[in-house]
Amino acid sequence: MLTNYHTHCQRCKHAEGSVKDYVMQAIRDGFDILGMSDHLPYPNYDYGYRMDFAELWDYIYDVREAQEEFGDKLRLLLGFECEYMREYRRYYEELLTDYGAEYLVLGQHFYDIDGHWQSVHGIDNTTECLAYARSIREGLETGWYSLLAHPDFVGLNCLPWDRNMDEMTDMIIDSAVKNDVPLEINANGVRRGIVRDSEGEHYGYPHFRFWEKVAGSGAKVVISADCHNPALLNDSDVQKCRDIAKNWGLDVIEELKVKKQ
């Protein structure tokens, strides 16, 4: 099967192409399943790099319309990439009921600390990485998420890989296995290129220190384009991620368990 569950569109304000553009590209590339998972807007605060909350139903309509038009050519799913924060627990539940989302992707770009949100980009010490991992663990335990996006996202911060980083990695992997949520190897990390730190030259993510621990852990793995342009849906960077998974002997799956059919 050829599938992708991490797909954005122009509504997030940092991508190109409409839902229909991605669907048509997926059909040309021979995809079996395409999941649209644009960044979730929140009702009471603009966290940036996402559609306005007022556009939420327009996005849902775009996906539903494309499902009607192209449903005989591929399976199109309505999803969202969203963070987990306690204050929005009811909202996440409503996405899977009232809003009709078929799956949620946990992309923890920021998280709640004592009532305040912390950007993952702003983490400047490895102790804080443990708080990041705990927020992911709490999110996965809700059972709402079908995929954990870029779990090694903190690798962009070029922090030293110390005992805290190992503990963070173990916590995330153990939670993914316990809750049967696949971990994502993210092609957008490959597109960002090589970083240089105390570990040498490597991708910020997928970070080799993280994925060497995933190997043999029993965790399931999904490869995602995380595309913000239709042309990137199945590009050479996605293939590099497939090669990474093959080299590590990871348990790659193609089809996610979604919440609604």
Give the pLDDT confidence of 5-35 residue by residue, as tens digits.
999 999 999 999 999 999 999 999 999 999 9
- Signed CA dihedral, 258, 147, 101, 141: sign only: positive
Give the rounded percent of residues in the chain with a pLDDT score beyond 70. Answer: 99
CB 6 within 8 Å of CB 149: yes
Give the pLDDT confidence of 34-89 residue by residue, as tens digits.
999 999 999 999 999 999 999 999 999 999 999 999 999 999 999 999 999 999 99
Q: 175: exposed, middle or buried (C-beta count within 10 Å: 0-12, 13-18, 19+)? A: buried
> CA-based angle 77:152:93, to the nearest 5?
40
pLDDT score recorded for residue 259: 79
CB 15 within 8 Å of CB 229: yes
The predicted model gives 169-174 an average pLDDT of 98
